[in-house]
């Protein structure tokens, strides 16, 4: 346990060793499958290789699991391809009921899912429970959507033919997911694909694959047929997924992750004109106007900045505050962030867990150091926490020059850079000054201004007087380099449906009967 001086945030890090790992953690790990899942069977990888999944709060190994090879990836796609035809013919109601049972099972096992996510990803247990509720909700939402897929039958405008339009499952889909929301990023893709009648290959992030393995056992228990979902966790992401993306049996790629990897995958997918959905990086502005309810704005900033320790694509990356409330807002934010306890996510006091790995923490510190070198002032934090694990102090930076890297790159850590503005137009220009366009937040009591912002900000999502927008019933996604397509909402299932049009000769052409 380490306690830093009183100027710094309260820090209490984890020092767990293997022998002291709590019994419930050991039992949960022991209950997990360790293989890859192909055609309903858990198997070793084709070359017998394995890799270790570690706990970011102390660097200790949680579990050794199979490390899929390109041959395993091929077998997974073959299984998905073989299962596709029959799966597409199942009744929508049957698919809906599998999803609904999965929702009930995940909810019943919420504590296990939460603990596992905390162990492999680091987030505090309370946040992990929040993710279980959010992630499970996609199962319930799409169980309700499964039987609402419809088409249309119409008379052509010239009256000489009939138009029949139907929706069909797009077919075998490859999902590549990130480590920051191990359950929700998977269910946001898997649930609509099941609802639409698509089979799948999932490649979860190598840092956090265990949640997907547990989730697969739940889907099996819920009655998902063999071959519909195949899982190939691997440390060889490009080597395993590249051949699949170039394989004509694959009909869809849905990726959530960084813009850098996403753009390369789009280029690969272009070779066979593969349909893609891309949920990529963000650089969210959070604007606080002079008329904002400051309590609400600070609360919103805490949520938008510190949810998931700042390791969220929706994280507020730039706090843009009107000059008249800058001092007050900054003081309140510093006070709130300072009170956050940094600790292993299983500690009841934990409000911020470790960052996911050494590289992520090094990148965060590099951005902070660069800002300080460029003239920024550290109002709080600004240091990596010594000791085991990848902890970083909640940090507030002020006085940043406009070209500081931290204002233009995704931080992915508990660091809040604050800049000021003097007019609404300037705030909009600052907010839009980025290649990303996932989400923006604004706090104002002026509804007309809120509506103007909703039209002027170049984003896929906008939070008005709220620091959280994610909702399974709403279309999640971005514009510009934040991605293509939407997940959740009525729109989410469309990513897994193809439109087919049938032209039909005028049934009266030969004369009415």
Which residues of the chain form contacts with ligand NAP (CB under 6 A)?
176-180, 185, 203, 205-207, 237-238, 241, 256-258, 261, 279-282, 313, 410, 438, 478, 482-483
Closer to ligand NAP by Cβ: residue 8 or 240: 240
Q: Is 440 helix (H, G, I), strand (E, B) or coil?
A: strand
Q: Is 252 helix (H, G, I), strand (E, B) or coil?
A: strand
* Alpha carbon distance 119, 211 (integer Å): 10
Closer to ligand NAP by Cβ: residue 332 or 486: 486
* CB 412 to ligand NAP: min, Å: 6
The DSSP secondary-structure symbol of 512 reads -
* CB 368 to ligand NAP: min, Å: 18
Categorise residue 322: left if φ over 0, alpha if ψ from -120 to 50, beta otherwise: beta
* CB 65 to ligand NAP: min, Å: 13
198 is catalytic: no
* CB 111 to ligand NAP: min, Å: 24
The DSSP secondary-structure symbol of 63 reads E
Contact 139, 103 (CB under 8 A): yes
Closer to ligand NAP by Cβ: residue 21 or 408: 408
Burial label, 217 (beta-carbon count in 10 A; 0-12, 13-18, 19+): middle
Among 120, 313, 424, 456, which one carries the catalytic annotation?
313
Closer to ligand NAP by Cβ: residue 237 or 384: 237
Closer to ligand NAP by Cβ: residue 130 or 238: 238
Closer to ligand NAP by Cβ: residue 410 or 456: 410
What's the length of the chain? 513
- Give the H/E segment covering residue 139: helix 125-145
Which tokens go with 104? 């009930």
* CB 2 to ligand NAP: min, Å: 27
Q: Is 233 helix (H, G, I), strand (E, B) or coil?
A: coil
* CB 30 to ligand NAP: min, Å: 24
* Alpha carbon distance 428, 285 (integer Å): 9
Closer to ligand NAP by Cβ: residue 26 or 405: 405
Q: Is 118 helix (H, G, I), strand (E, B) or coil?
A: helix
Spatial neighbors of 242 by CB under 8 A, at least 6 apart, are 268
- Give the H/E segment covering residue 27: helix 23-30
* Residue 306: CB atoms within 10 Å: 23
* CB 237 to ligand NAP: min, Å: 4
- Give the H/E segment covering residue 228: none
Closer to ligand NAP by Cβ: residue 49 or 161: 49
Residue nearest to ligand NAP (CB): 257
Contact 324, 425 (CB under 8 A): no
* Alpha carbon distance 420, 288 (integer Å): 9
* Alpha carbon distance 157, 135 (integer Å): 44
* CB 301 to ligand NAP: min, Å: 18
Q: Where are the alpha helices (DSSP H) in 307-408?
A: 326-338, 358-373
* Alpha carbon distance 129, 115 (integer Å): 8
Q: Hey, what's the torsion of the CAs at 488, 260, 375, 459, to 10 degrees? A: -30
Closer to ligand NAP by Cβ: residue 214 or 313: 313
455 is catalytic: no
Q: Which of 330, 186, 283 is nearest to 482 (CA)?
A: 283
* Alpha carbon distance 320, 364 (integer Å): 20
Among 74, 131, 145, 279, which one carries the catalytic annotation?
279
* CB 346 to ligand NAP: min, Å: 23
**Would you name the residues annotated as active-site residues?**
279, 313
């Amino acid at each position: 346990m380490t306690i830093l001086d009183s100027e710094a945030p309260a820090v209490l890090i984890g020092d767990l060793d293997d022998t002291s790992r709590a019994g419930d953690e050991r039992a949960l790990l022991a209950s997990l499958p360790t293989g890859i899942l192909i055609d309903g069977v858990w198997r070793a990888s084709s070359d017998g290789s394995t890799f270790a999944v570690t706990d970011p709060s102390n660097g200790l190994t949680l579990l050794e699991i199979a490390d899929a090879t390109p041959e395993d990836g091929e077998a997974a796609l073959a299984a998905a391809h073989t299962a596709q035809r029959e799966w597409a013919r199942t009744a929508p109601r049957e698919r809906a009921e599998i999803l609904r049972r999965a929702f009930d099972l995940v909810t019943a096992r919420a504590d296990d899912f939460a603990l596992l996510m905390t162990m492999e990803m680091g987030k505090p247990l309370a946040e992990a429970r929040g993710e279980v509720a959010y992630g499970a909700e996609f199962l319930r939402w799409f169980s309700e959507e499964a039987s609402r897929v419809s088409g249309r039958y119409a008379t052509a405008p010239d009256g000489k033919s009939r138009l029949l339009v139907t929706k069909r499952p797009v077919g075998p889909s490859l999902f590549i997911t990130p480590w920051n929301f191990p359950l929700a990023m998977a269910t946001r893709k898997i649930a609509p694909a099941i609802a639409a009648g698509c089979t799948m290959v999932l490649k979860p992030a190598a840092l956090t694959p265990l949640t997907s393995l547990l989730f697969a056992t739940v889907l099996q228990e819920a009655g998902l047929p063999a071959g519909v979902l195949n899982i190939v966790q691997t440390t060889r992401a490009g080597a395993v997924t590249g051949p699949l993306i170039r394989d004509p049996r694959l009909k869809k790629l849905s990726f959530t992750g960084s813009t850098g990897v996403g753009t390369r995958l789009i280029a690969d997918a272009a070779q066979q004109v593969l349909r893609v959905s891309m949920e990529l990086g963000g650089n969210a502005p959070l604007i606080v106007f002079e008329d904002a309810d400051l309590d609400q704005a600070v609360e919103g900033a805490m949520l938008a900045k510190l949810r998931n320790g700042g390791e969220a694509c929706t994280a507020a990356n730039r706090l843009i505050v009107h000059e008249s409330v800058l001092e007050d807002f900054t003081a309140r934010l510093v006070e709130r962030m300072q009170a956050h306890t940094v600790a292993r996510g299983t500690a009841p006091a934990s409000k911020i867990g470790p960052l996911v790995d050494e590289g992520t923490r090094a990148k965060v510190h590099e951005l902070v150091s660069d800002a300080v070198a460029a003239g920024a002032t550290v109002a709080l934090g600004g240091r990596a926490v010594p000791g085991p694990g990848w902890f970083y102090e909640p940090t507030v930076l002020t006085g940043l020059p406009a070209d500081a890297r931290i204002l233009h790159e995704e931080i992915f850590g508990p660091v809040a850079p604050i800049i000021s503005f003097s007019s609404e137009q300037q705030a909009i220009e600052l907010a839009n000054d980025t290649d990303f366009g996932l989400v923006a937040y604004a706090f104002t009591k002026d509804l007309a201004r809120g509506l103007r912002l909703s039209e002027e900000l170049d984003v896929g999502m906008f939070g008005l007087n709220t620091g959280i927008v994610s909702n399974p019933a709403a279309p999640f996604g971005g514009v510009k380099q934040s991605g293509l397509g939407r997940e959740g909402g009525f729109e989410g299932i469309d990513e897994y449906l193809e439109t087919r049009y049938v032209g039909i000769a005028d049934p009266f052409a030969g004369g009415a009967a």
